[in-house]
Structure 1
Amino acid sequence: MIIPEIEVLPTMIRYFYVLMSEVNLDAPFVISADQFTDDDGNHTFQSIAVGPNTSSTVYINGMIQEGRIYTLTPVALTLHSPGDMLLAGTPILLEILYLTVQVVT
């Protein structure tokens, strides 16, 4: 009997956005997928592939954020943190870890 080897193949994708103006997070602030750029500065995203085999992390100004302040869907990242304000020029990084499995016989 041959026992197959299973390889987990992680892929990390980063999406970048910089605020053009001050944002009050008392109300939800939505950044659509097409507003993000990739590592090369290209606006190439029509949707963000999120699902059961993904894990997401949001960084604001280089600081990792609690999952309670954001919601991620294939079409947008929504930030909501009453009492908080983000200044113009603040960088927002969305990092998605995609996991796929490959069976090697």
Structure 2
Amino acid sequence: MARKSSRPHKKFLRDFSLLIKNIYIQPRVTRFFYQAKHNICLEKYQVIPAYQFINDAGKSIKKFPYKGKSKYSNLYINGIMQEGKAYKIKKKKLMIKNIGGTIYAGTPIVIEIVEFRLGYRDRSELNPKVIMEKGRK
């Protein structure tokens, strides 16, 4: 019984590497800022509406970007990153769980949302016919 080679086919690798060279991942970071107007007691669940935050351009927002599979968020209170289990971000509000302590008036609260998108250097080269033609050269 003849044994099949365990090495991948060279042509497949060449075509695949041509495809990969044209794809890149582009991160996009957005930040939202809020300054506590009064002391916030964290002995109970607290909600801060999205409209109280401003974006990087200093403009008010109505909602936070949807948090999907290719996004993640961080919450900073007074410059300290918080544990993921300590808060939830919904479209129109930040919810901080009852973790104890107090956020004092004037303390900055920052939400950072990082999104990853796929980009293509040359879309025409993603066409399988173009890949095959380049592979023949």
TM (norm. structure 1) is 0.89
- The aligned residue for residue 129 of structure 2 is none
Does the CA-based 8 Å contact 2:28-2:114 persist in structure 1?
yes
Tell me which of 37, 44, 55 is aligned to 2:72. 55
Deviation at 1:48, TM superposition (A): 1.1
Q: Pairwise CA RMSD of aligned residues? A: 1.5
Superposition pairs for residues 35-46 of structure 1, below 5 Å?
35-43=52-60, 45-46=61-62
Corresponding residue number in structure 2 for 1:79: 96
Match of 2:116 among 90, 99, 102: 99
Counterpart contact for 2:46–2:98, Cα < 8 Å: no
Partner SS state of residue 68, structure 1: helix
Which residue does the alignment assign to 2:48? Answer: 31
Query: Higher strand proportion, which one?
Result: 1
Q: 1:6-17 counterparts in 2 under 5 A?
A: 6-17=23-34
Amino acid in structure 2 at the alignment position of 1:48: F
- TM-score under structure 2 length normalisation: 0.70
For structure 1, the residue ranges without an aligned partner over 5 or more in a row are none
CA distance in 1, matches of 2:23, 2:91: 28
Give the number of the structure whose alpha-carbon radius of gyration is greater.
2
- Cα shift at 1:21: 0.3
Q: Which runs of 5 or more residues in structure 2 are unaligned? A: 1-14, 126-137
State, as a whole percentage, how many aligned pairs show the same letter.
31
Size of the aligned set, in residue pairs, is: 104
SS in 1 for 2:99: coil
Q: Specify the SS of the correspondent of 2:27.
A: strand
Q: Does 2:77 correspond to 1:66?
A: no
In structure 1, the residue corresponding to 2:54 is in which secondary structure? coil
Q: Distance in 1 between matches of 2:71 and 2:94?
A: 15
